[in-house]
Amino acid sequence: MQKNILVTGSNGQLGSEMRVLAPQFPQFRFFFTDVADLDICEAKAVMDYVSKNTIRCIINCAAYTAVDHAEQEPLSARAINAIAVKHLCSAAKKHNAFLVHISTDYVFDGFKINPYDETDATHPISVYGKSKLQGEEFVRVSGIASLIFRTSWLYSSFGSNFVKTILRLSQERPELRIVSDQVGAPTYAADLAATILDILANHSLPGHPEIYHYANKGKTTWFEFAHEIVKLSGGTTLLHPITTEEYPTLAARPKNSQLCKAKLIQNFGIHPPEWKESLKACMEILLAEN
């Protein structure tokens, strides 16, 4: 019998990649929703939806992801990234559904030198990061069977992201200034979506909240990331490295966003692809669309 899976926020980057992969998982019947069909801030709507459709698993791809806007809209960020997660936990608990929730490297302050592992102390330095940490806390306190995946620098051929922005700007401008003192790993949303669905399909799931870090393999800076994007596009735009201080933004970003994947590799035997390989795969799609 098919297992019913609710995917929230499924018009976003990660949710759209789930839609692409869905046909490869005939054991699952997917219920793809976004805010127009199911607003996760509406507690009763969430509870009714899970009950009416006999949902056995919720994958929460819905989020408030505008990191800078969040500084001016803390209530909206908190409503979607934190309070709504509580609603999802309540519905999952009542109807015995498994929850997959997505979080971020921005729960850390970035002052650590080495990659962050799941046991490292959190200390968000932005409204967005704080709201995402509160969301994690609601899952943890609920005690429900669940997985939280923290990821970083997400991009996809769907939605808006750094890759698409650099591709567009490099076609418009001869020179670009890009921050070169923040270190992290870009993550192709298609890889994260495949990992989540693989784990749900083929692995034994925890009976309580468990956090995992997921990012593509390797590390880079936004400057090197942009350089690779321009190179793969065949562009000639000149890139200049600048410091975070030279590119002021409303929200502070961690200088170190590296996430250690050892737990994922050890417990699930999953090895995330190298970031340049995944970028190439996404760029092939984007350049074919252009």
Q: Where on the chain is the footprint of ligand NAP (CB under 6 A)? A: 8-9, 11-14, 34-35, 39-41, 61-63, 65, 80, 84, 102, 104, 132, 151-154, 159, 189
Q: Write out 135-148 in H/E/C secondary structure.
A: HHHHHHHHCCCEEE
Question: Among residues 65 and 233, whose Cβ is nearest to ligand NAP?
Answer: 65
Q: Is 164 exposed, middle or buried (0-12, 13-18, 19+ CB in 10 A)?
A: middle
Q: Compute the least distance from the CB of residue 169 to ligand NAP, in Å.
A: 17
Question: Among residues 26 and 65, whose Cβ is nearest to ligand NAP?
Answer: 65
Question: Among residues 59 and 204, whose Cβ is nearest to ligand NAP?
Answer: 59
CB 132 within 8 A of CB 165: no
Question: Among residues 100 and 283, whose Cβ is nearest to ligand NAP?
Answer: 100
Q: Compute the least distance from the CB of residue 114 to ligand NAP, in Å.
A: 19
**Is 128 part of the annotated catalytic residue set?**
yes
Q: What is the largest distance, in Å, between two alpha-carbon atoms of the chain?
A: 56
Q: Compute the least distance from the CB of residue 175 to ligand NAP, in Å.
A: 25
**Which one of the listed residues 49, 116, 128, 188 is annotated catalytic?**
128
Q: Compute the least distance from the CB of residue 258 to ligand NAP, in Å.
A: 13
Question: Among residues 27 and 184, whose Cβ is nearest to ligand NAP?
Answer: 184
Q: Compute the least distance from the CB of residue 40 to ligand NAP, in Å.
A: 4
Active-site positions read 128
